[in-house]
Amino acid sequence: MEQEGVQNDLVRRYQTIVLHDLDSLTNGDTRPKTLHRLRTHLRRLQAHLELVGEEANATLMANCVSRFSPLRTLQVLEAYLVKLQAPDSDLQAVRDRIQARRERLVRNRVFRDVERIVRRHAIPPVPVGQEWLAQRMNHLRELNGITLRELALKAAEEPRRKTLHLLRLKIKSVRYQEEWALHESHARPEMVAWLKHAQAVLGEHEERGQFRKLARKLGLTCSKDIQRDWRHSRKRARAFPSQLLEKVKTLSPVSLRLVKTDRRETTMAI
């Protein structure tokens, strides 16, 4: 019962943070960290809904995250350009686009709309017991293992942006689901760390691809630098599916064990 209370408290806490951030953004908060935290906690609520079998509401949370993706991409691009020491003209072009995107969200009442959805659908109507939740987690690990293997095989054979993006989305979903088990006896902290690394490798490629498109659209003078970084990220991302499959030690309908990249060999069951 104590562990069940921890889970339920976390759900309510994440919902409270999301609602607070939505209110801040509605009232003029332009800080990138606020939007990033909002999207992260929406994903955590989505993962919990997936875990307890509330697929329809989980989809609603995922759609909420997607509504803020264009603004988040521009904010990350701005930080990237600052690090790149891009010309002021490039930075101003991106900042103008950020302002226009944010004004559109406010004008279309997107923050308020998402707030309404989170209040109504973020928390499961009936709390589930820990025994059922552990069984559900084991079932999802079995399904996730099979799906990850299939996506990795497809991406290894055809490492295009679309297939790599699908693999990244699945890795992200599994990571957030596994984070909900970190307070449980069946936690897999090593796997969560590995999933974060995998998400970073594939996420960098996706970001650079988006930056490349935006650079052309906005006529940025640093397009060549972005193109160069995109090629580097593409090389890493295209090599990743094969690396994933090479690390697979045992594959079955029940588990997927991965070998860590350091000197100690550790298995992580999904």
Angle 49-116-104 from CA coordinates, rounded to 5° = 110
The region that residue 28 occupies, defined by phi over 0 for left and psi between -120 and 50 for alpha, beta otherwise, is left
Rg from Cα positions in the chain: 20
User: Which residue type sits at 67?
Assistant: R
CATH code for residues 1-128: 1.20.120
Q: Which pair of tokens denotes residue 18?
A: 């999301």
Predicted pLDDT of residue 268? 37
Predicted pLDDT of residue 260? 44
Size of the chain, expressed as the number of residues it contains: 270
The per-residue pLDDT for range 175-199, each reduced to its tens digit, is 999 999 887 777 888 888 888 999 9
Q: Please give the helix or strand (H or E) that residue 250 lies within, else none.
A: strand 248-251
Residuewise pLDDT in 10s, the chain (270 residues): 455 566 788 899 999 999 999 999 999 999 999 999 999 999 999 999 999 999 999 999 999 999 999 999 999 999 999 999 999 999 999 999 999 999 999 999 999 999 999 999 999 987 677 788 888 888 898 888 889 889 999 999 999 999 999 999 999 999 999 999 887 777 888 888 888 999 999 999 999 999 999 999 999 999 999 999 999 999 999 999 988 776 654 333 344 445 444 433 333 344
DSSP letter for each residue of 172-233: HHHHHHHHTTTTSTT--HHHHHHHHHHHHHHHHHHHHHHHHHHHHHHT-TTHHHHHHHHHHH
Q: Which of 115, 122, 117, 111 is nearest to 12 (CA)?
A: 122
Predicted pLDDT of residue 247? 60
Cα 238 to Cα 251: distance, rounded to the nearest angstrom: 22
The strand order across the sheet containing 267-269 reads 248-251, 256-259, 267-269
Centre a 10 Å sphere on the Cβ of residue 131 and count the other Cβ atoms it contains.
Answer: 9
Predicted pLDDT of residue 183? 79
As separate numbers, helices (DSSP H) first and strands (DSSP E) second, the chain gives 10, 3
Q: Which residue has the tokens 């970190």?
A: 182
User: Which residue type sits at 218?
Assistant: L
Distances from the Cα of 65 to the Cαs of 6, 39, 43, 236, in angstroms? 25, 6, 7, 26
Contact 203, 171 (CB under 8 A): no
Cα 248 to Cα 258: distance, rounded to the nearest angstrom: 5
Cα 33 to Cα 72: distance, rounded to the nearest angstrom: 10
Q: Rounded to 5 degrees, what are φ and ψ at 74?
A: -65, -40
Predicted pLDDT of residue 17? 98
Contact 177, 147 (CB under 8 A): no
